[in-house]
């Protein structure tokens, strides 16, 4: 029974691996020539990869929840969780940005001959995720709060990008397929993960409105934006989470 939470953790890892498989498979149609204009399509399988990253996040939440309910916390479970998170929220999102950069360069003349090294910045994401998780494992001061953006949060933001581009909310597809925008996103998310910014934990120790108003506000805004904007809600919630954390954590630090 004590290994049931670990099985959830392994399912997180499996979903991360499935995500990578989908992301690295070529899409049925990368680009379509129409007259003198090139139209670049996001491969369908990248979106499936993003979907499985979100599934990994759901399971990642459940393994901790199940461990607390069953009182089955263990050192092995802690290490296993970090190993799974590196794959699901580090390597898989890194591969998404690798593919997004390829698509971005495909707009340019001779885009299919893009040199390999210009895509390597995407690997900053798995490197930053591994660093973030290793530091978390040896830092006892992150029980009720975080230093730097949690790996699942960073991974989910990256996973939302191809979904936002696919549905072209507010006409942002062209913006998100700009290589410089992608480089900035990679650098910013990687920095936020390895930084020591004081960010609030999302676990409730009590349900006092006075003590937990930032969490209630985040949950409320998250629900409303998810209903109104679907995938666009992910970066909105992410930005609000950081702003609320900086506002409240700095006052209590």
Strand-pairing partners, residue 39, are 32
Question: CB–CB of 245/197 below 8 Å?
Answer: yes
Residues of the chain where predicted confidence (pLDDT) is lower than 70: 1, 26-44, 65, 67-68, 70-72, 111-112, 141-144, 203-208, 249-253
Q: Can you tell me the distance from the alpha carbon of 9 to that of 73, in angstroms, rounded to the nearest whole number? A: 12
- Helix residue spans in 25-150 (DSSP H): 44-70, 75-86, 92-106, 124-138
The confidence score (pLDDT) of residue 202 equals 72
Kindly list the structural domains of the chain, giving each domain's residue range(s) and its CATH number in brackets, ordered by start: 4-196 (1.20.120), 201-253 (no CATH)
Residue with tokens 């998404």: 96
The pTM for the full model equals: 0.85
The DSSP H or E segment spanning 218 is: helix 209-229
Q: Can you tell me the distance from the alpha carbon of 19 to that of 83, in angstroms, rounded to the nearest whole number? A: 16
The confidence score (pLDDT) of residue 122 equals 97
């Amino acid at each position: 029974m004590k290994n049931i939470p670990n099985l959830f953790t392994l399912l997180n890892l499996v979903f991360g691996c499935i995500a990578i498989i989908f992301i690295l498979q070529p899409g049925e149609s990368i680009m379509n020539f129409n007259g003198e204009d090139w139209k670049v399509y996001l491969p369908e399988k990248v979106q499936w990869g993003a979907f499985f990253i979100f599934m990994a996040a759901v399971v990642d939440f459940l393994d901790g929840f199940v461990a607390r309910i069953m009182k089955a916390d263990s050192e092995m479970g802690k290490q296993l969780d970090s190993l799974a998170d590196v794959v699901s929220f580090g390597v898989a999102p890194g591969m998404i940005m690798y593919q997004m950069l390829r698509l971005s360069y495909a707009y340019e003349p001779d885009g299919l001959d893009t040199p390999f090294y210009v895509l390597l910045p995407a690997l900053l994401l798995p490197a930053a995720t591994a660093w973030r998780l290793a530091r978390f494992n040896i830092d006892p001061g992150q029980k009720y709060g975080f230093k730097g953006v949690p790996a699942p949060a960073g991974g989910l933001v990256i996973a939302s990008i191809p979904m936002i581009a696919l549905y072209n909310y507010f006409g942002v597809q062209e913006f998100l397929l700009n290589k410089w925008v992608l480089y900035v996103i990679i650098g910013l998310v990687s920095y936020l993960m390895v930084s020591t910014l004081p960010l609030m934990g999302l676990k409730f120790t009590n349900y006092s409105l006075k003590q937990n108003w930032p969490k209630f506000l985040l949950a409320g805004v998250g629900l409303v934006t998810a209903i109104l904007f679907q995938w666009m809600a992910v970066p909105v919630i992410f930005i609000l989470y950081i702003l609320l954390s900086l506002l409240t954590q700095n006052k209590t630090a």
